Amino acid sequence: MAKKPTPLPVQKPRRRIAARVSLRPGTTPGTLRPIHGSPPATVTVLTCDNGSGIHSVTAVDDLEKLPAPAEKGLHWVRVAGLGSIEPLQAVADFYGIRRLALEDTLSPGWRTKLEEQGEYAFFLLQAPADVAGTHKGEHLSLFCKHGLIVTFEDTPTALVDCLWERLEKEPPSGKIQHLAELVTHMVLDLIVDSFYPHLDAKDEELAELEERISDHVPNREELNRLHRVKRDLITLRRLLTPFKELRGDVQKLHTPESIRELRPFFNDLNDHIVQAGELLDTYYEVAKSLDEISQSMLSNRMNDIIKLLTIISTVFMPLSFIAGVYGMNFDTKYPLNMPELSLPFGYVLVLLLMAGVVGGMLWFFKKKDWF
């Protein structure tokens, strides 16, 4: 009977610290590749009427019937799903979105950035969706100009869902001159605010780890947990750091008009970014400090173990010497060959000698405060 082959062990996928841009070396600029695993694109339009507060949400099946930029109010065109190129290309062609910007949209590994794309302000954004256990976040590409916002998502994000629900329940009231710019600020503000629940969770986890580590030497589970918290904080830092540069990018660019109108909003947003960054830096330093304390405690415990074993070995060295001396087999008929072996209490005397040596050494070690 043939022997069944031994199945190979299943290897867990390795976590990457940072996502890689899904472009092959030598790819022609402007090459569009669908995102693997992303669903087919669906197009939905949110319409907000400036002044009256009237709003509507409609699904677009015929891409030739996409709305033009609103003169008063806002059309938000949401493209969810980047698994097919044709709908994306149709939306981009209709609104004059450049092919290179669409290529960046289909490469979710890019960091958060702001670019000038003709008459559009183009944002590549990453929000911390589920930091724990993964490097990934929610990817969102946003094109903004007066009266129009176009967003692309590889999968429908909770970020846009939350904002659309807010706009449906509480549409902007009153005549707002730059509604698209205001909603863009709301998107950015919501992304920055989404860091705080993750930071609060890490704060509580660090506080719990600090309390447990202060009570006893950390075990393997606690060390692994601390290591995971540090990795999560590094991921959050990687996601948040580019937002600090957005304000400078807005100040440097002069066109289009949408970017100029975004400047006052970024002044307000910058305070939230700085505060989140300071909290993130503080928590990372706490995690780093706990890691150093844990390593120091483990090192001290190892030193204590080595000290104890050294004392035991040192105590047994003279005992081994005494036992070795009296274990030599010389002829006892000669008077100089260990005459004490003939004493009636020789064995007891040797044991007492050994006990005295052990007691004396322990007293000496204690006096020197070596244990």
User: Phi/psi of residue 170, each to 5°?
Assistant: -130, 75
* Nearest-angstrom CA–CA distance, 322 and 344: 19
* pLDDT of 225 above 80: yes
What CATH number should be reported for the domain holding residue 160?
3.30.460.20
In this structure, the answer to whether residues 333 and 190 fall within a common structural domain is no
Q: Is residue 35 part of a domain?
A: no
Q: Tell me: do 241 and 138 sit in the same domain.
A: yes
Describe the strand order of the beta sheet including 113-117 as a list of residue ranges: 55-60, 42-49, 73-80, 148-153, 138-145, 120-127, 113-117
Are 292 and 332 in the same domain? no
- Do 291 and 333 belong to one domain? no
Q: What is the mean pLDDT of residues 283-294?
A: 94
Confidence of residue 291 (pLDDT cuts 50, 70, 90): very high
Q: Is the pLDDT of residue 9 over 50?
A: no
Task: Give the mean model confidence (pLDDT) for residues 219-232.
Answer: 91
| Structural domain ending residue among the three candidates 275, 296, 317 | 296
| 247 & 131 share domain | yes
pLDDT in tens, 150-205: 999 888 888 888 888 888 777 665 555 678 888 888 888 888 988 999 999 999 99
- 229 and 108 in a single domain? The answer is yes
**Residue 20: inside a domain, yes or no?**
no
278-284 long-range contacts, CB within 8 A, separation 24+: 279/199, 279/203, 280/195, 280/199, 280/233, 280/236, 280/237, 280/240, 281/237, 283/199, 283/202, 283/203, 283/206, 283/233, 284/230, 284/233, 284/234, 284/237
Q: Taking 60 as the threshold, does the pLDDT of residue 71 lie above it?
A: yes
Tally of domains within the chain: 2
Mean pLDDT of 87-102: 88
The CA-based diameter of the chain, rounded to the nearest angstrom, is 124
Q: Let me know if residue 305 belongs to a domain.
A: no
| 80 and 208 in a common domain | yes
Residue 306, domain member (yes or no): no
Shared domain for 221 and 355, answered yes or no, is: no
| 54 and 142 part of one domain | yes
**58 and 196 co-located in one domain:** yes
Residue 157 belongs to a domain: yes
Q: Does pTM surpass 0.85? A: no
- Final residue belonging to a domain, choices 247, 273, 296: 296
How many percent of the chain have pLDDT more than 70?
Answer: 82
Task: Tell me if 319 is assigned to some domain.
Answer: no
For 112-133, what is the mean pLDDT?
78
Pair 260, 335 in one domain: no
In whole angstroms, what is the distance from residue 95 CA to residue 84 CA?
18
- 73-80 and 148-153 beta bridge pairing: parallel
For 247-280, write each residue's pLDDT tens digit: 777 776 665 565 666 677 777 788 889 999 999 9
pLDDT at 337: 78
Q: What percent of the chain has pLDDT over 90?
A: 22
Name the residue range of residue 187's domain.
42-296
Q: Given this model, what pLDDT does residue 368 score? A: 83
**192: in domain:** yes
d(CA 280, CA 238): 11
With respect to residue 281, please indicate whether it lies within any of the assigned structural domains: yes
Predicted pLDDT at 13: 45
**Distance of alpha carbon 143 from alpha carbon 69, whole angstroms:** 12
Domain end marker among 281, 296, 311:
296
The answer to whether the CB of 370 falls within 8 A of the CB of 303 is no
Please indicate, yes or no, whether residues 275 and 336 belong to a single structural domain of this protein: no
Mean pLDDT of the chain, nearest integer: 81
